[in-house]
C-alpha cells in the first residue's frame, strides 16, 4: 500500500504527546530541584523569600505575606536536597503510556472514515484525485441544489 496509513497519524500524535508529557515532567522537577538547591545555598532569609515569591504565580506571590513565605522557606529547607534530584521514574513512564493510549483512543474515531475510504480506494484501484473529485461533486450537489440557496451565492462559495 503506497503512502502513509491514516492510523499512523494518531499513533504519531500519541507518541508526540507522551514525549511532551515526559519533557514537561522533567522540566518541572528540574526547576523544583534547582529552586531547592538555591534555597539551601542562600543564607539571607529575605533573598530566600524572594526566590520563593518568584517561583509562585503572580497572584499568589502578591497575596503571600512575608510570614507565609518564611514558613514556606523553613518547610522547603527541611526537605533533603537529594530527594528533588530524581527527574523521571517508573510512574512517569506509566503516565506517558497512559497519555499515549488516551490520545490514540480519542483520535481513533476520526481515523476510521479515512481508513475505510483508503481501503476502498486501494481495493478499487481508484486514484485519490478521483476520490476527491467525487467528494467535491457530492458537496456541490448537496449545497447547490438546496431550495433555499441562491445560485449566485452557491457559485461564489464553491
Give the count of alpha carbons within 13 A of 108, CB side only: 7
Q: Is residue 141 part of a domain?
A: no
Domains identified in the chain, total number: 1
Q: Answer left, alpha or beta for residue 3, where phi above 0 means left and psi between -120 and 50 means alpha.
A: left
Consecutive H or E run containing 118? helix 90-123
Please name which of 148, 129, 151 lies closest in space to residue 140, comparing C-alpha atoms.
151
- Write out the residue range of the structural domain in which residue 102 sits: 7-110
Q: Is residue 98 part of a domain?
A: yes
Q: Is residue 22 part of a domain?
A: yes
- Give the contacts of 156 (CB within 8 A, at least 6 positions apart): none
Q: Is residue 125 part of a domain?
A: no
Q: Is residue 38 part of a domain?
A: yes
Q: Is residue 16 part of a domain?
A: yes
Q: Is residue 116 part of a domain?
A: no
Q: Is residue 104 part of a domain?
A: yes
Q: What is the pLDDT along the chain (158 residues), one digit of tens a residue?
A: 455 566 677 888 899 999 999 999 999 888 888 888 888 888 888 899 899 999 888 898 888 888 999 998 899 888 877 666 678 889 999 999 999 999 988 887 777 776 666 655 555 555 556 656 666 666 666 655 544 445 544 444 44
Amino acid at each position: 500500500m503506497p503512502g502513509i496509513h491514516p492510523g499512523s497519524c494518531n499513533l504519531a500524535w500519541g507518541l508526540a504527546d507522551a514525549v511532551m508529557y515526559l519533557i514537561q515532567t522533567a522540566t518541572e522537577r528540574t526547576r523544583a530541584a534547582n529552586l531547592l538547591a538555591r534555597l539551601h545555598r542562600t543564607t539571607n532569609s529575605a533573598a530566600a523569600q524572594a526566590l520563593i515569591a518568584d517561583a509562585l504565580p503572580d497572584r499568589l506571590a502578591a497575596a503571600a505575606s512575608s510570614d507565609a513565605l518564611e514558613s514556606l522557606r523553613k518547610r522547603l529547607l527541611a526537605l533533603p536536597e537529594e530527594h528533588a534530584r530524581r527527574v523521571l521514574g517508573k510512574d512517569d513512564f506509566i503516565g506517558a503510556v497512559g497519555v499515549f493510549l488516551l490520545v490514540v483512543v480519542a483520535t481513533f474515531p476520526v481515523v476510521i472514515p479515512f481508513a475505510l475510504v483508503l481501503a476502498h480506494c486501494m481495493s478499487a484501484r481508484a486514484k485519490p484525485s478521483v476520490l476527491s473529485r467525487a467528494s467535491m461533486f457530492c458537496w456541490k450537489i448537496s449545497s447547490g441544489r438546496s431550495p433555499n440557496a441562491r445560485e449566485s451565492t452557491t457559485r461564489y462559495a464553491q
